Structure 1
Amino acid sequence: MNTTRTARATRTKIAASIAALAAGSLMLTACSGSSDNESSDNANKLDGTYYVKDVNGTSELGQLVVEGNTVSHHEYTCDGVYEKPGVTSTGEFNKDQSQIIWTVAGEDSRNKRTGSESISTSGKSISISGSVYVRDTSGAGKALLDAFKAKCGK
């Protein structure tokens, strides 16, 4: 009888240990999910439209549109700014948002947006390979867009 009680007690302890490990595993899984949310939240903070003057020497205005982890890059000349961009590329941020990986290059042969490019960000700008794109709602962004519109006579 004593052996039976010991075996039952041992099985009960093992079952309790397994249950505790399973609960701990679920808690760790739930906690690890927050890093994905943080990455998503960081991307959302960057959401918006940004501009740069004389991008790549191919156009008069560069526009970067960020929606979550997706990035679209458009290049405009005075003739195309109100209809369609002369050059368009799309890409995504890498996991830590230190690079943009260009997934679809524009058809224009002047397009230099291929592979991946290093970036740095602040609340009002995104720097891509040395070019600083300013948020359209910032003073610098509004001034840049207004100057482009004035130059193009629109």
Structure 2
Amino acid sequence: MSITRTARRARAKIAASIAALAAGSLILTACSGSSASASKLDGTYYIKDVNGTSQLGQLVVKGNSVSHHEYDCDGVYEKPDVTSTGEFNKDQSQIIWTVAGDDSRNKRTGSESISTSNTSISISGSPYVRDNSDAGKALLDGFKTKCGK
């Protein structure tokens, strides 16, 4: 009898271990899937004349975190004039702004819809181009020329 009980306990422990490993594997797969899709967006993006101003808009993406900075000619080499932070929603169709900058010109509040491509992120229809793309390099060169730097 004791051999039967020992065998049953061993099988039960093995089954529990397999179930735990399977559950852990599913959790890790789910986590790696979301960070993998977020990481393909990682980088720095720019837009000219952000919010209808002559300022340069910069969007920095790190995983699911997003920061938005606005620069004038002097600030682009130092500290941004306006900064906001946020994060992507689960399906990366929106940015939810969590901390708005204290500048009254800041337009980044609530949430905004986004669409993405390999070289850009559009926020509410305004395209931010990746800094190392041809369009991004041209935009930055034009801003530097305008600012006389």
TM-score (norm 2): 0.87
One of 30, 35, 42 as aligned partner of 1:40: 35
- 1:32-71 matches, within 5 Å, as 32-71=27-66
Alignment of 1:85 with 2:73, yes or no, is no
1:144 aligns with 2:139: yes
Aligned equivalent of 1:113, options 80, 86, 108: 108
Among residues 68, 71, 95, which one is paired with 1:73 in the alignment?
A: 68
Once the 2 structures are TM-superposed, how far is the Cα of residue 127 of structure 1 from its aligned partner? 0.8
Corresponding letter in the other structure for 1:135: R
CA deviations 1:34-65 (Å, max 9, x no partner) are 12111111221111110011111244210001
Within a 5 Å distance, the mapping from 1:87-106 to structure 2 comes to: 87-106=82-101
Count of matched residue positions in the alignment of Structure 1 and Structure 2: 149
Moved over 2 A (4+): 8-22
**TM-score relative to the length of structure 1:** 0.84
Q: Would you say the 8 A contact 1:59–1:76 is kept in 2?
A: no
Q: Is the deviation greater in 121-130 or in 75-84?
A: 75-84
Q: Which of structures 1 and 2 has the bigger CA Rg?
A: 1
State yes or no: 1:124 paired with 2:119. yes
SS of corresponding position for 2:107: coil
Give the aligned CA root-mean-square deviation in angstroms. Answer: 2.1
Query: In structure 1, what residue type is equivalent to 2:79?
Result: K
5+ residue gaps, structure 1, are none
SS in 2 for 1:46: coil
Percent of matched pairs sharing the same residue: 69
